[in-house]
A and B are shown apart, each in its own frame.
Chain A
Amino acid sequence: MSTATGRKQIHLAAHFPGVNSTTVWADPRSGSQIDFSSFEHLARTAERGLFDFFFLAEGLRLREHAGRIHDLDVVGRPESITVLNALAAVTDRLGLAATVNATFNEPYELARRLSSLDHLSAGRAAWNVVTSSDAFTGENFRRGGYLDRADRYTRAAEFLGTVRELWDSWTPDGEPGPFAHSGPQFRIEGEFPVPRSPQGQPVVIQAGDSAEGREFAASAADVIFTRHSTLEAGREFYADVKGRLARYGRAPGDLKIMPGVTYVLGDTDADAQERAAEIRRQQVSPQNAILALEQVWGRDLSGYDPDGPLPDVDPDPDSTLVQGRVRVADPVAVARRWRALSEEKGLSIRQTVIESGSRQSFVGSPATVAAALEEFVAADAADGFILVPRLTPGGLDAFVDRVVPLLQERGVFRTEYAGTTLRSHLGLPEPVWKGGTP
């Protein structure tokens, strides 16, 4: 969407700080990850900043490492949809996005819960569709973990299609109608108990960068939550995903591309760089350095000194040491890279992990960060960003106070909410009602 200034507008969302090492809990300002007041503070801050939506990730099993519960990072979180319903009471315009797994839920129940959220928030609900196939997570569910990895998107696509049939089973005029869905994954029938919700169809977000994920997003999602990368890689991804839309009769503006990004602000660029380095050291404690190493090597390396050299042994490619988090794709290649880095610069284990780990996406003064964000969007590397603060609950304050006004001055971010629904914030078209013809 553009305004009178002719500049492409930026969409912003706020991610509740994660349960991984990006979130710095050792900082004295770090508050509760579970008290409602933390969620309220972040959501109110995002709304004060006129953000499109507030985003919650999902956890279905605590991560384990070497058969024991991982204890070094922030852990424990609420059930997303319930928190968002409560946040609907303390916000007026902010979109409310819940991550919910399509593998361990059923379409009827989830369609009803999301439709309820859309009603209770007067049109601000979004669903981030994720899938899972691992038996480790499945141990907490009736379903178990039998789903083949290859079937994840098959199930997710039919799940989403079924949910939309349910949402469309009431006419826009408010008349209920029966539904019947019969497919390889789901055979259900009856009457949906909730009238068509304010957005007609709550917003659908899809997270994932794989070719399957891109195709799924192009066919069915309103927003794609992607990994942040360089400007060039971002442009390539953007062109690829937008290029897939026409096949589904969709326009480029129908799918917003929003990478998840971190940021560090300082009074000057140098000041911000210094803080970013300090944050990186906080994120990689000596214990976390060994853990990061074990995640690559797939071996017990607890006997190694974090301030000493890297192990001589090679990674175990068949390791089951790490459970409940994404596996390192090619551990042997990563190990080779880390060794080369360590030898070249004479780095210890901890220094190597710090040096090779993910950087903060945007580091600088508020002016520098605002310019960089605008550049990304203007260059068609993104439509906006899902900001991941590293502190709960105050991690978004400085961004809203110092960067948002600069984006507004540049004419690339709204100065007030124009509409009341999340669809209107995102500039998405009214969903076409597809019910009535079974």
Chain B
Amino acid sequence: MTTSTRPLHLAAELAPGSGRADPGPHTAARTVALARLAEAAALDFLTHDDSFAGPGLDALAVLARVAPETRSVGLVPTVTTTHTEPFHVQAAVATLDWVSRGRAGWRIAVSPTGAEARLLGRRPAPPAAELWQEAGEVAEVSRKLWDSWEDDAEIRDVATGRFVDRRKLHHVDFQGATFSVKGPSIVPRPPQGNPVTVVDATRPAARDTAAHHADVALIRATSAEEAAALRAELRRGARAHGRDPGQLRVLLSLTVDLDAYEGGPGALAELIAGWHGGGAVDGFHLVPAVPERDLERFAAGTVPRLRDRGLFRTAYEGTTLRDHLGLARPLSQYATTGAGA
């Protein structure tokens, strides 16, 4: 197959198995170098794994540090919703979107272990199913809070002395099973409207939350058929939640050791082209065994072959992560009345 009707999306992980991440003072320089490498290859976005159990720096902090030193690549830190405050989490993700000028996402995670619960001391860890339900509620309230400032809420009207039009600022009055939030957000609506929500749907417990809330779902599969079935399941789920499945991208997470990979970067390009062309997935999320080595080989050996086949962009065409993913910038859910409250 030489052409594809759907664009190919490529992403990569910066801190595979966050337990092995270098947590020290070289993190900034090292991560900036990796991000620039990925950006030169015009990848859609970079994920940065994280866990309270560490070791490692806070992933959202690392990517905020990277943002001013990159221009185009999307930045997607892992953020847990289990022991954190939803109001703080959405403000931090919105702020990452502001400092990166529209390139932020977040990969929702939960903290299921007792060890993590004891670090925070807030409550014991509930079962995984409840944690993913809560994660879905955090995704929902985050979207409400990002929307709680309509795009044109700031008016700076000298004649009436008003800085904002208060009819365009909204209480969200969210009641979840384990928390409630009044709103509105403290942060004005971020550049993308809603930063991109990524959910790792590998585990069945996360799959409904992914279908309901994710803009990008990550899956794992050992065959194109298995990947296609998972993608179909997620798209059905999205439709069942009243969403347009065309606004959900399904990327296959692929752990790659390009030292050991048979056939090397060229064979990887064959696999990507084959699975994508066959419609199994919308793209790939590369999880490199050794980021410096494997990302370099991927950028130098795999990406050019995909470009030769006309499958992958040669340069960024837009400026935001939503642009790269072909996802529309959503209107605020509160912006429907037009005439105001």
| From B61, B119, B154, B180, contact of A85 by CB (8 A) | B61
Docked CA distance A26–B160 (Å): 11
**Contacts known (A89-B65, A106-B122, A108-B52); A82 close to B60, Cβ less than 8 A:** yes
Q: Are A139 and B186 in contact (CB under 8 A)?
A: no
Count of inter-chain pairs, beta carbons less than 8 A: 186
> B291 to chain A: closest CB distance in Å?
18
Docked CA distance A287–B66 (Å): 43
How does the 8 Å CB contact mask read for B130-155 relative to A, with 1 for contact and 0 for none?
A: 00000000000000000001000010
| From A59, A108, A117, A122, contact of B61 by CB (8 A) | A117
Q: Which interface residue of A75, A77, A187 has the most chain B CB atoms within 10 A? A: A75
Question: Is A195 an interface position by the 8 A CB rule?
Answer: yes
In the assembled complex, which residues on chain A have CB atoms less than 8 Å from the CB atom of B304? none
Q: Which interface residue of A60, A69, A105 has the most chain B CB atoms within 10 A? A: A69
Q: Are A68 and B23 in contact (CB under 8 A)?
A: no
| From A71, A113, A120, A122, contact of B164 by CB (8 A) | A71
Docked CA distance A287–B84 (Å): 39
| From B115, B178, B180, B186, contact of A76 by CB (8 A) | B186
In the assembled complex, which residues on chain B have CB atoms less than 8 Å from the CB atom of A194? 23, 54-57
Question: Is A186 an interface position by the 8 A CB rule?
Answer: yes
Question: Is B326 an interface position by the 8 A CB rule?
Answer: no
| From B25, B53, B64, contact of A82 by CB (8 A) | B64
Task: Flag the segment in B85-93, B248-256, B292-300 that touches A.
Answer: B85-93
In the assembled complex, which residues on chain B have CB atoms less than 8 Å from the CB atom of A36? 68, 98-99, 101
| From B84, B99, B118, B169, contact of A83 by CB (8 A) | B99
Q: Are B149 and A76 in contact (CB under 8 A)?
A: yes
In the assembled complex, which residues on chain B have CB atoms less than 8 Å from the CB atom of A89? 28, 32, 65-69
Q: Are B23 and A193 in contact (CB under 8 A)?
A: yes
For A104, give the chain B residue with the smallest CB separation.
B85
Residues in A117-151 with C-beta less than 8 Å from chain B? 117, 119-120, 122, 139-143
Question: Is B261 an interface position by the 8 A CB rule?
Answer: no
Q: Are A188 and B99 in contact (CB under 8 A)?
A: no
Residues in A40-98 with C-beta less than 8 Å from chain B? 40, 59-62, 68-69, 71-79, 81-83, 85-86, 88-90
Question: Is B236 an interface position by the 8 A CB rule?
Answer: no
> A97 to chain B: closest CB distance in Å?
15
Question: Is A189 an interface position by the 8 A CB rule?
Answer: yes
Q: Are B163 and A82 in contact (CB under 8 A)?
A: no
Interface size on B, residues (CB 8 A): 65
In the assembled complex, which residues on chain A have CB atoms less than 8 Å from the CB atom of B149? 76
Q: Are B57 and A106 in contact (CB under 8 A)?
A: no
Question: Is A190 an interface position by the 8 A CB rule?
Answer: yes
In the assembled complex, which residues on chain B have CB atoms less than 8 Å from the CB atom of A77? 186-187
> B121 to chain A: closest CB distance in Å?
4
Docked CA distance A408–B275 (Å): 66
Docked CA distance A139–B166 (Å): 19
**Contacts known (A35-B98, A71-B164, A82-B92); A189 close to B118, Cβ less than 8 A:** yes
In the assembled complex, which residues on chain A have CB atoms less than 8 Å from the CB atom of B56? 193-194
Residues in B53-83 with C-beta less than 8 Å from chain A? 53-58, 60-62, 64-69, 83
In the assembled complex, which residues on chain B have CB atoms less than 8 Å from the CB atom of A26? 156, 158
> B91 to chain A: closest CB distance in Å?
4
Q: Are A120 and B92 in contact (CB under 8 A)?
A: no
For A74, give the chain B residue with the smallest CB separation.
B163
Question: Is B188 an interface position by the 8 A CB rule?
Answer: yes
Question: Is B183 an interface position by the 8 A CB rule?
Answer: yes
Question: Is B96 an interface position by the 8 A CB rule?
Answer: yes
Docked CA distance A142–B178 (Å): 8
For A288, give the chain B residue with the smallest CB separation.
B161
In the assembled complex, which residues on chain B have CB atoms less than 8 Å from the CB atom of A74? 163
Docked CA distance A69–B149 (Å): 12
Question: Is A331 an interface position by the 8 A CB rule?
Answer: no
Q: Are B182 and A79 in contact (CB under 8 A)?
A: no
In the assembled complex, which residues on chain B have CB atoms less than 8 Å from the CB atom of A72? 161-163
For A138, give the chain B residue with the smallest CB separation.
B182
For A142, give the chain B residue with the smallest CB separation.
B179
In the assembled complex, which residues on chain A have CB atoms less than 8 Å from the CB atom of B92? 79, 81-82
Q: Are B121 and A81 in contact (CB under 8 A)?
A: no
Q: Which interface residue of B27, B54, B61, B92 has the most chain A CB atoms within 10 A? A: B61
Question: Is A25 an interface position by the 8 A CB rule?
Answer: yes
**Contacts known (A71-B163, A142-B85, A194-B54); A187 close to B61, Cβ less than 8 A:** no
> A112 to chain B: closest CB distance in Å?
6
For A139, give the chain B residue with the smallest CB separation.
B182
In the assembled complex, which residues on chain B have CB atoms less than 8 Å from the CB atom of A76? 149, 154, 164, 186-188
Question: Is B257 an interface position by the 8 A CB rule?
Answer: no
Q: Are B187 and A71 in contact (CB under 8 A)?
A: no
Question: Is B94 an interface position by the 8 A CB rule?
Answer: yes
Question: Is B181 an interface position by the 8 A CB rule?
Answer: yes
**Contacts known (A60-B87, A188-B120); A78 close to B23, Cβ less than 8 A:** no
| From B27, B94, B182, contact of A140 by CB (8 A) | B182
Q: Are A86 and B119 in contact (CB under 8 A)?
A: no
Q: Are A79 and B94 in contact (CB under 8 A)?
A: yes
In the assembled complex, which residues on chain B have CB atoms less than 8 Å from the CB atom of A112? 52, 54, 57-58
How does the 8 Å CB contact mask read for A232-243 relative to B, with 1 for contact and 0 for none?
A: 000000000000
Docked CA distance A188–B183 (Å): 30
Q: Are A86 and B68 in contact (CB under 8 A)?
A: yes
> B72 to chain A: closest CB distance in Å?
15
In the assembled complex, which residues on chain A have CB atoms less than 8 Å from the CB atom of B160? 287
> A357 to chain B: closest CB distance in Å?
16
Docked CA distance A192–B57 (Å): 11
In the assembled complex, which residues on chain A have CB atoms less than 8 Å from the CB atom of B338? none
In the assembled complex, which residues on chain B have CB atoms less than 8 Å from the CB atom of A193? 23, 52-56
Q: Are B64 and A86 in contact (CB under 8 A)?
A: yes
| From B27, B87, B95, B163, contact of A78 by CB (8 A) | B95
For B170, give the chain A residue with the smallest CB separation.
A69
In the assembled complex, which residues on chain A have CB atoms less than 8 Å from the CB atom of B340? none
For A65, give the chain B residue with the smallest CB separation.
B166
Docked CA distance A120–B25 (Å): 7
In the assembled complex, which residues on chain A have CB atoms less than 8 Å from the CB atom of B60? 82
> A288 to chain B: closest CB distance in Å?
7
Apart from A34-B98, A83-B64, A116-B58: 16 A-B pairs, beta carbons within 8 A: A60-B87, A72-B163, A76-B187, A78-B98, A83-B98, A86-B68, A89-B67, A104-B85, A105-B85, A109-B84, A112-B52, A115-B57, A116-B61, A140-B87, A141-B85, A190-B118
13 contacts across the A-B interface (CB closer than 8 A) = A69-B184, A75-B163, A78-B99, A79-B94, A79-B187, A83-B99, A109-B84, A116-B62, A120-B65, A139-B181, A140-B87, A190-B118, A195-B24
Q: What are the nearest 10 A-B pairs in CB distance?
A: A193-B54, A287-B161, A85-B64, A139-B182, A86-B99, A188-B121, A82-B95, A78-B95, A116-B57, A89-B68
